[in-house]
Amino acid sequence: MAKVSIGLRGWRFEESEVFTEDGEFRPLEEIPEDTRNRLVRLAGIVEDPCDACYLIHGEEDIRQCNPAAIVYGEPGDELLLCTEHEADFLYWFREDDGDDLAGEELFRDSFHEWFAAGNRAPEGYAGLEHVDTDPDALPEPPDPAEVQRRLEEGLDLDRVTVTRAEPGEGELLDDDFDEEDAGLDLDTDYPTK
């Protein structure tokens, strides 16, 4: 079967893993884990703005941002781009060693830094030619809240036990915690996935 993009171009899914023979979305529990993780992430980001537009306009003028049309990278460290800024990303990726960071945690942040420093693709730089064969033939993707609810239902909460440990001798209570003694700087922005 063919590979298809769903919602945003970029991430491609094996059609038989995602859809039934009737063309409907498979139940989540039938979809392989990696594919399911991408679909769940996609459901949460499909309506987000382009990262490059957001770097230009910021939260104050977010209505000026184009909606994302393309996703690159790995779930949790993905880049969302509009068609206008895809060429900038491709230039960074192809010509400015961005491909060295593929699959790395610094992938998205490195592009953000490059773009925020005023770097852009040269005028006329060729992007990718995308072919939309039949975008209206895809079924409506599941609602993100419904996906989350179904994932939570899949957890066997009876098998999970949460206990609070009592502080033992020599352990610090929350009130006694000293971030400086622990070697932590809680004002630092640590990278996240």
The SS3 assignment for 9 reads: strand
Q: How high is the pLDDT of residue 107?
A: 93
- Cβ 18 vs Cβ 28: under 8 Å: no
On the question of pLDDT at 35 being above 60, the answer is: yes
Mean pLDDT of 120-145: 64
Burial zone of 76 (CB within 10 Å; 0-12 exposed, 13-18 middle, 19+ buried): exposed
Q: How high is the pLDDT of residue 24?
A: 87
Q: How high is the pLDDT of residue 105?
A: 87
On the question of pLDDT at 176 being above 50, the answer is: no
Percent of the chain with pLDDT over 70: 65
Query: Residue 15 is encoded by which pair of tokens?
Result: 């059609």
Mean pLDDT of 5-25: 90
Task: Classify residue 183 as left (phi > 0), alpha (psi -120 to 50) or beta.
Answer: left
Angle, in degrees to the nearest 10, between helices 83-95 and 107-116: 110
Burial zone of 71 (CB within 10 Å; 0-12 exposed, 13-18 middle, 19+ buried): buried
On the question of pLDDT at 44 being above 80, the answer is: yes
Mean pLDDT of 149-156: 57
On the question of pLDDT at 7 being above 50, the answer is: yes
Mean pLDDT of 43-54: 94
Mean pLDDT of 137-144: 56
On the question of pLDDT at 46 being above 70, the answer is: yes
Burial of 172-193, coded b for 16+ CB within 10 Å and e otherwise, reads eeeeeeeeeeeeeeeeeeeeee
Per-residue pLDDT band for 56 (boundaries 50, 70, 90) equals very high
On the question of pLDDT at 192 being above 50, the answer is: no
- Cβ 82 vs Cβ 68: under 8 Å: yes
